[in-house]
Structures are given as structure tokens and as C-alpha cells.
């Protein structure tokens, strides 16, 4: 049974809740990094390195995560609400298996993973137990991420934002006393952050379950938590597998660069960690725009409005490029003061400032990727970003980080040069694909499937 789709909101009305949601996530990471850095630069490096490893492991969730939002939005755009509900239930079961598997790998493989990452000797004793304690929260993250994707696909971005605010507020309220101590609560350091993270994810799960019932009329049955029907899972995998491959390729290439930085010592690792936290803040608007574009393009493709999708992406890209350039320049100008939130080491501050000025060149290229890859995926053209970008991620991102940073001895600026080259190469390839309408046959095929 089909129903007419609801009126679609403007791009900005979808983008701003996503931006605030992502900003809160980055804010929690900044606070955690700053609290860890108060202990020592080794603790700050351990915090960042462990979170990089956890994020890389969690990319496995993208096998279905990249497909959940797209297939649900396409079903809703075509007016097929029953199909959208079946997909939502299937996403929950698949999240249990993938999230649980990821958590198990983090728990059992913490020490080997840190050795693989070339962690400095003074970082390992802090990073290994921290990663083990982060493991249970990964399952909670998988559930929350899939449930949030379903909510966004139904254009419930403000409800999702409310859950994220509650989760991050809970995380911060618990993390600060657990990490630094308060009254009878002892200072636990990095394990305190992990415990606070787990508590906040349990809260988020409860709120998502309530909103699914209230807003979507969806109440998960017992079997939904472990059962992933073949048909619905196949629909998510058709989009998710290429999307996951693209994300995994990028994360692996990025982790090579982190390992190269770690091989330069704890000071270089801390510099990379602090600068990366600020760099994540710069990319927020482009990332929020890309996610909003994915939601709206999915609805437009499902409804067969392909010309409107094309116009939307061009408009979003022009805005994203301008904002990313201005924000990157502002952060670079303020970098000496911003970096003092993490450290007073003049060498780290000077090196980090140089990297943030290089980020002004990096971010416009990244915006091409954030907007266009999401648009291509939402249009059903999920394989092209992997095929077009794989060589760059392997040769330019990973190989360039090793060559420029280690072999040629250019240090962290060499790694950032590899970042810049990789983002621009892939970004221009994605733009060529969209501008030449190479995605149209895939969009028509996705539309005919509904």
C-alpha cells in the first residue's frame, strides 16, 4: 500500500539540526581531549589514538549504516510506508550483529591493535584498557545510529537532535566527575570517560525507543533485535556495501597517517590529536550539508524528481564550499589561542598552527566529497565513489602520508599534504560524475525498484 509523501522541507531546515548534532559530538570529543591532556600529553595522545581505532572499527557498521537512510528515504519518497517500517526493523537486527561483533574485536584485540598502530611506549598502558572499556558502548552506538537514521529518513531531524543533546549532556555530566574526580567520586581518568559514554548510550537507546513508538508507530518486537530478513538486508547492502568500502578505505588510509604520526613520538601524536580535533570542527558544516543532501535526494529520487535533485546538489555544494573556506580561515587565524585549550607546549602550538593553515586548502576539497558522495549514494550510484577513489585513498592518502611524512622527513606537514592531495583528487572525480549526469541511470533504476 502506498501513501502520498509528505511535503519536503528546505535544505536548511534539515541541515541545521544535523549541524548542531554533529557540533555537540565534536564538543564532547574536545572536552574529553582537553581533560585527558590535563593529565599529560601521553594521555591526550592515548585518548585520540584509541578513538581513532574505535572509529575505524565502527566503520564496519557502515556495511548496513550507509544503506539504512537511503533505502528508507527512497521508500518514503515513493509513498511505501509499510516497506519503510520493514526496513527499519531489519536495520535493528543487523545492528545487533555488526555492533556486537565490533565490540568483541575491540575487547579482545585492544593490545594487538595498539601495536599495529605503532603506539608510543608511554601511550600503550593508557590506550589498551581504554579501548577495552569503550567496547560495550560500540553496540549501543550501532543501535542508536540505526534508529537515528530511520528517524532522519522520516524527516524527524529535530527529534533526533533532542536525543543527541540529551545523550551528550548525560555524557558530559558523567565524564567530568568520573575523569577528574568530585567529592567521594575518585578520578578515574580515561576509564571514567568510557563509563560515561556507556551510560549516555543507554539513555539514547531508551529515548529512541520512545520516539519510534510516539512518532513512527514502531515498537520493536523481541525478534527484531536479532533477526535481519534477507530481502530488506539485501536492499541495505546494495547501497551499504559500496558505502562501507569507501568509508573503510578512507579510514584505513587515515589510520596509516596516524600510525606514521605515532612513529614520530608522543609529542607529534599529541600535535596530530589536538589539531585533528579542531579540524573536525571545521568540517562540520560540510558534513551536515552532505547528510541533509542524502536525505532530500533520497526522497526526490524515490519520487522521480531527478531535475530537482540535480539543482539541490549544485546549490548545496556552492554554499558548502564557501562556508568551509571561511570557517577554515577563521580557525587558522585563531589557532594559537585555540590550541592553548589543550597544551601550553610552544612547539606543539606552533606545529598545530601550521597544520591548521594547511587545512584552509584541505577543507574545500573535503566538501566536494562530503556533499557529492552522499548525493551519489542517495541516487543509487554507490559503487562509483569506491571505484573512483580507491586508488587515491591507497596511493595518495596512505602512501603519501608514509612517503612525505616519514621517508622524505617532512613530518606532520607532509601528512597534511597527503590529506590535501587525496581530498582534491577524489572531490574533483565526484564532481565530474555528478556534473556529467553519470548518476542518472542508477537513479532511474532505483526509482523503478519502487
pLDDT tens by residue, 130-155: 999 999 999 999 999 999 989 988 88
Inside any domain, residue 6: no
Output the pLDDT for position 450: 53
Inside any domain, residue 63: yes
Q: Look at the alpha carbons of 217, 147, 372, 365 in this order and tell me if their dihedral is positive or negative.
A: positive
Output the pLDDT for position 380: 85
- Domain range holding 269? 11-448
Q: Look at the alpha carbons of 394, 396, 401, 404 in this order and tell me if their dihedral is positive or negative.
A: positive
Q: Do 68 and 237 form a contact (C-beta atoms < 8 A)?
A: no
Q: Residue 85 burial by CB count (10 A; 0-12/13-18/19+): exposed, middle or buried?
A: middle
Output the pLDDT for position 2: 45
Q: How far apart are the first and last CA of the chain?
A: 12
Q: DSSP letters along 379-413, please?
A: TT--HHHHHHHHHIIIIIIIIHIIIIIIIS--HHH
Helix 383-391, helix 411-435: angle, nearest 10: 140
Residue that wins the pLDDT comparison between 247 and 254: 254
pLDDT in tens, 47-97: 988 988 888 888 778 777 777 877 888 888 778 888 889 999 999 999 999
Q: Do 85 and 309 form a contact (C-beta atoms < 8 A)?
A: no
Inside any domain, residue 5: no
Which residues lie across from 182 on neighbouring strands? 185
Q: Phi-psi category of 7—alpha, beta or left, where left has phi over 0 and alpha has psi -120 to 50?
A: beta
Inside any domain, residue 3: no
> Which whole number is the average pLDDT over 301-313?
88
* Overall domain count for the chain: 1
Inside any domain, residue 130: yes
Inside any domain, residue 233: yes
Q: The cell 519503510 sits on which residue?
A: 84
How far lies 336's CA from each of 30, 228, 355, in Å?
16, 50, 11
Sorting pLDDT into bands at 50, 70 and 90, what band is 413?
very high
Inside any domain, residue 71: yes
Inside any domain, residue 309: yes
pLDDT of 9 strictly over 70: no
Amino acid at each position: 500500500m502506498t501513501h502520498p509523501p509528505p511535503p519536503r522541507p528546505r535544505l536548511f531546515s534539515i541541515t541545521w539540526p544535523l549541524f548542531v548534532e554533529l557540533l555537540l559530538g565534536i564538543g564532547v570529543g574536545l572536552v574529553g581531549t582537553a581533560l585527558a591532556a590535563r593529565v599529560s600529553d601521553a594521555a591526550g595522545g592515548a585518548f585520540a589514538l584509541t578513538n581513532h581505532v574505535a572509529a575505524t572499527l565502527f566503520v564496519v557498521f557502515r556495511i548496513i549504516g550507509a544503506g539504512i537512510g537511503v533505502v528508507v528515504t527512497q521508500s518514503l519518497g515513493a509513498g511505501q510506508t509499510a516497506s519503510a517500517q520493514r526496513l527499519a526493523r531489519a536495520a535493528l537486527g543487523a545492528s545487533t550483529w555488526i555492533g556486537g561483533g565490533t565490540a568483541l574485536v575491540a575487547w579482545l584485540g585492544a593490545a594487538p591493535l595498539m601495536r599495529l598502530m605503532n603506539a608510543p611506549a608511554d601511550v600503550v598502558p593508557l590506550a589498551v584498557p581504554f579501548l577495552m572499556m569503550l567496547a560495550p558502548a560500540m553496540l549501543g552506538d550501532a543501535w542508536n545510529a540505526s534508529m537515528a537514521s530511520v528517524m532522519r529518513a522520516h524527516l524527524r531531524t529535530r527529534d533526533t537532535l533532542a536525543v543527541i543533546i540529551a545523550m551528550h549532556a548525560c555524557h558530559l555530566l558523567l565524564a567530568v566527575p568520573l575523569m577528574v574526580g568530585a567529592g567521594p567520586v575518585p578520578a578515574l581518568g580515561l576509564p571514567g570517560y568510557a563509563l560515561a559514554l556507556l551510560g549516555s548510550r543507554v539513555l539514547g537507546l531508551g529515548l529512541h525507543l520512545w520516539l519510534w513508538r510516539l512518532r513512527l508507530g514502531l515498537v520493536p518486537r523481541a525478534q527484531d533485535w536479532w533477526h535481519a530478513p534477507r530481502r530488506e538486508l539485501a536492499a541495505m547492502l546494495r547501497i551499504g556495501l559500496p558505502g562501507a568500502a569507501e568509508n573503510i578505505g578512507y579510514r584505513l588510509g587515515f589510520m596509516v597517517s596516524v600510525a606514521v604520526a605515532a612513529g614520530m613520538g608522543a609529542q607529534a601524536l599529541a600535535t596530530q590529536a589536538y589539531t585533528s580535533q579542531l579540524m573536525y570542527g571545521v568540517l562540520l558544516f560540510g558534513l551536515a550539508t552532505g547528510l541533509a543532501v542524502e536525505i532530500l535526494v533520497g526522497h526526490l529520487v524515490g519520487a522521480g524528481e531527478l531535475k530537482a535533485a540535480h539543482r539541490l546538489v549544485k546549490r548545496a555544494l556552492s554554499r558548502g564550499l564557501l562556508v568551509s573556506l571561511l570557517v577554515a580561515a577563521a580557525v587558522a587565524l585563531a589557532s594559537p589561542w585555540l590550541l592553548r585549550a589543550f597544551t601550553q607546549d610552544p612547539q606543539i602550538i606552533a606545529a598545530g598552527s601550521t597544520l591548521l593553515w594547511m587545512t584552509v586548502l584541505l577543507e574545500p576539497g573535503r566538501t566536494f566529497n562530503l556533499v557529492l558522495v552522499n548525493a551519489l549514494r542517495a541516487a543509487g550510484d554507490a559503487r562509483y565513489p569506491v571505484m573512483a577513489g580507491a586508488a587515491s585513498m591507497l596511493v595518495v592518502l596512505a602512501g603519501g602520508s608514509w612517503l612525505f611524512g616519514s621517508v622524505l622527513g617532512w613530518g606532520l606537514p607532509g601528512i597534511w599534504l597527503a590529506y590535501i592531495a587525496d581530498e582534491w583528487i577524489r572531490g574533483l572525480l565526484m564532481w565530474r560524475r555528478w556534473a556529467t549526469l553519470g548518476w542518472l541511470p542508477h537513479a532511474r533504476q532505483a526509482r523503478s525498484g519502487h
